[in-house]
Structure 1
Amino acid sequence: MSTPDEESALLGLAPVAPDRTVAYGPHPDQIVDLYAARAGAEPDAGAWPGAAHGPLVVLLHGGFWRAAYDRRHLSPLAAALAGHGLPVALAEYRRVGAGGGAPRTFDDVTAAIRAATQATRAAAGGTDAERRAGAGGTAAAADGTAAGRGTVLVGHSAGGHLALLAAARPGTPVTRVIAVSPVADLARAHELGLSDDAVGALCGGGPGLADRIAAADPLRHPPPRDLPVTLLHGTADPDVPPEISRRYAAAHPAGTTLRELPAVGHYAAVTPGTPSFRTLLGELLDGRGADGA
């Protein structure tokens, strides 16, 4: 599948409504869509063993941080993962052109992760210890778990940047990060002028831009301690060149795994039904790709 076809295949899918939506702030974009795990559903031919015991997946969409692109194009992915028994939270956040940009966008992501984790624990009734203590899910923000299964942060493109940056922040309640075609080296992306200098728009122009980019650049932050990071990047990605992920992996070799997807573009891994989606699913369920590699 060529890369233009990849984009059409994803964006041509009909949005899938969530089971419910929770707000984490007063702005219309400060919301999280929740998709319940379909653990009791009849498994399809591609169902994975043990899916019902999978982690909470918090999804962060891309679109180069711009308001023109919202979470709806990842709703088919959210629904597909839920169909494999994974509880999913699809987060929205303020974006450039609609009240977002640094640092508001970054603060929203942190708040969305906490809201998703707490909502999932509350729906599951919390742990036995929490119920006995009457904690009401407070421990979710402290230990990064959701109903005892852990919380995996999955970000695509600019959402991959946000996932890596959020994970580098102390106290973010996640147990693993999977970044798909991420803008993982913000300074290099700015040098390349990706998407009409989307990085400059995110961080604001004028004096001090280099410092603001550095502050928002996951490559220049210490890697998340004891937090596994997996990068999935297509070798034929025209939107975010694979060198971006290679540079992050080279800068943070400890705890970072880079999986390059041969002849894959920017969208296939987040499009249900593709071989690259199976790779992502395998990473989520058991740390392996669909081929067991």
Structure 2
Amino acid sequence: MELSRRAALALAGAGVAWAATGCSWPGGDDDAATEEEGTGDVIAYGDDDELQRGALSRPEGGGPHPVVVLVHGGFWRPIYDRTLMDPLVASVTAQGWAAWNVDYRPSGPGGGWPTTFTDVGRAVDHLAVLADDHDLDLDRVAVVGHSAGGTLALWTALRSGLPADAPGAGPEVVPDGVVSLAGVVNLAAGSFEGLGDGAVDDLMGGNAGSEAGDRYGLASPIERLPLGRPTLLVHGVDDVVVPPTQSVAYRDRAVEAGDEVTLELVPDGDHFVVIDPESSAWAAVVAWLTERWA
């Protein structure tokens, strides 16, 4: 049934929380890769932490393959990991695209601003290292993030416009499109609203009115408009975890700033319908990418 499938998606990350249990990832140096059932080749994109890993899954046939970078949500909490996005991998590869499903350091010791953000930036940049050996097309890279991952997905597109001395500035790989699935695209509003029981403040090291306020100007997608990259926002109208007003307000301001933005509001959609591969919400993502990469 639809409801049970979404419930399973919601709970997936809590059941396989590698970082929270202290388990080691298989593999060794940056070039090491191991095969994990259902996830593809697990590859390190950094050597600062065991969470600097991603799972690369490639389609059948020759390339070069477009790449969909998947960035999981979970309010940047340590109990969640990339397994939340595993259900989307098969759909991505079925289109003839590669899936790069990444982990990153969450809020808490060793994470938060700027590390959580720069980890995802490094994961995207690492595609330049992987491209030749894995037949990847760096001109067709989309970053797709759910919930907290939506923040990080859009942030990868704004890196080109950051001040030269800002964390994450000077990207090696710039996505040609970004997708936010029920994303927290306005961090200051998320802080004010107390989303995720204070998750934004934990991520940023304070609220937007505190000494941490300047960080919001570098991290929050809505504060860095225009992004200069085509953007798709997908949000369930009945989402009570991240309100759809986040996406609606972002769309309005981004279009006013000159960005190409598409907003898909999902009738009767909750927070998890957007990562259900059998939903109309995910079908809208596939259609948008297909049109771009035709």
**TM-score > 0.5, shorter chain as reference:** yes
What is aligned with 2:232? 230
What is aligned with 1:156? 146
- Of the structure 1 ranges 266-275 and 228-237, higher mean CA displacement relative to structure 2 is found in 266-275
8 Å Cα contact 2:182/2:271 also seen in 1 = yes
Specify which structure has the bigger relative contact order, considering alpha-carbon pairs within 8 angstroms and separated by 6 or more residues. Answer: 1
1:251 aligned onto 2:253:
yes
For residues 1-293 of structure 1, the aligned pairs below 5 Å read: 5=4, 7-11=6-10, 17-26=38-47, 27-39=49-61, 55-97=66-108, 99-124=110-135, 146-147=136-137, 150-170=140-160, 171-172=170-171, 173=173, 174-205=175-206, 207-225=210-228, 227-253=229-255, 254=258, 255-287=260-292
Q: What's the TM-score, normalizing by structure 2?
A: 0.79
**AA at the equivalent of 2:219:** A
Which runs of 5 or more structure 1 residues have no equivalent in the other structure?
Answer: 41-51, 125-145, 289-293
- Of the structure 1 ranges 114-123 and 79-88, higher mean CA displacement relative to structure 2 is found in 114-123
How many residue pairs were aligned?
A: 254
Residues 187, 165 of structure 1: CA spacing in aligned structure 2 closer, same or farther, 3 A cutoff?
Answer: same
Q: What's the TM-score, normalizing by structure 1?
A: 0.79
8 Å Cα contact 1:181/1:233 also seen in 2 = yes
Listed one character per residue, the Cα deviations across residues 220-256 of structure 1 (whole Å, up to 9, x for unaligned) are: 113222x111111111111110000111111110212
Residues 166, 216 of structure 1: CA spacing in aligned structure 2 closer, same or farther, 3 A cutoff?
Answer: same
8 Å Cα contact 1:236/1:265 also seen in 2 = yes
Structure 1 residue 5, shift from structure 2 partner: 4.9
Listed one character per residue, the Cα deviations across residues 26-76 of structure 1 (whole Å, up to 9, x for unaligned) are: 210001110111359xxxxxxxxxxx8862101111111111111112112
Distance 1:191 1:7 in 2: 28
8 Å Cα contact 2:108/2:202 also seen in 1 = no
**AA at the equivalent of 1:243:** T
8 Å Cα contact 2:41/2:55 also seen in 1 = yes
What is aligned with 1:49? none
**AA at the equivalent of 1:264:** G
Structure 1 residue 269, shift from structure 2 partner: 2.0
8 Å Cα contact 1:61/1:70 also seen in 2 = yes
Report % sequence identity: 33
Distance 1:103 1:160 in 2: 16
SS at match of 1:169: helix
Distance 1:159 1:181 in 2: 9
SS at match of 2:118: helix
**AA at the equivalent of 1:268:** V
Indicate the structure with greater strand content.
2
Distance 2:155 2:282 in 1: 23
Structure 1 residue 160, shift from structure 2 partner: 0.5
Cα RMSD (Å) of the superposition? 2.5
Which runs of 5 or more structure 2 residues have no equivalent in the other structure?
Answer: 17-36, 161-169
Distance 2:143 2:277 in 1: 18
Structure 1 residue 11, shift from structure 2 partner: 4.0
Structure 1 residue 262, shift from structure 2 partner: 1.3
Distance 2:196 2:111 in 1: 17
Distance 1:85 1:216 in 2: 32
Distance 1:236 1:203 in 2: 27
Distance 1:105 1:112 in 2: 11
What is aligned with 2:31? none
Residues 31, 98 of structure 1: CA spacing in aligned structure 2 closer, same or farther, 3 A cutoff?
Answer: farther
